[in-house]
Amino acid sequence: MKKVTVITGHYGSGKTNISVNLAMELAGQGKKVSVVDLDIVNPYFRTADFGELFSKNGINLVSSIYANSNLDIPAITFDVERLCREDGYVIIDVGGDDAGATALGRYKEIFDELLIQNDIDMLYVVNCCRYLTRSPEEALELMREIETTARFKHTGIINNSNLGCETTIETAVEAVSYGRTLSEMTGLPVVFNSICEDCEIPEIEGVCFKKTKVYVKPLWEME
């Protein structure tokens, strides 16, 4: 992974769950890692909900002072640029769609600097089972909208196609062609295809699968 990883995508694509998985993976390797919750307006699921999990695993959570409150205030109360210049890895979990990417535009200067140093990735999380991204064409349109708003280009794709608790190994396998098509349309690599952590990884030539644990669950599945 690069020093800074920005995670974007459609609402419900699994951005936050991917961000948590990547952070836990780095922490498990003994790496210093910070997760920036850039969902500046409170959605239902956000990385700020995982403060206790992160604390137990030595992960630094950076979020607005209004996170997990009932105040709907789009405020950034932390210094992302300083964090990107410090030692360690940084994962930035961005709000959904182009509206959520608005906050990224202010960091163009530091992002451009990191890009020159090959120290940043902006990864687009897609889920072909979600409304408005069921076709590669729809996913591409949304990706371009995010890039225009963020003033920064994506560097890769994460194919996180799933059906929630109904996801099977067949779901991930069937979504491979979707990811390939989007990759061909954009010229961006599919960094990995998510697959349930209890599934065996299928052997498909040229396809990288990564087991992904479900940390973000619907309210009705929470204990």
Give the pLDDT of the chain (223 residues) as one tens digit per residue: 999 999 999 988 999 999 999 999 999 999 999 999 887 654 545 666 788 899 999 999 998 654 444 444 444 556 889 999 999 999 999 988 888 888 888 899 999 999 999 999 999 999 999 989 999 999 999 999 999 999 999 999 999 999 887 888 999 999 999 999 999 999 999 999 999 998 889 999 999 999 999 998 754 444 4
- Indicate the pTM of the whole model: 0.90
Cα 214 off chain centre by: 14
Alpha-carbon distance 145 to 104, whole Å? 13
As a CATH number, domain 4-221 is: 3.40.50.300
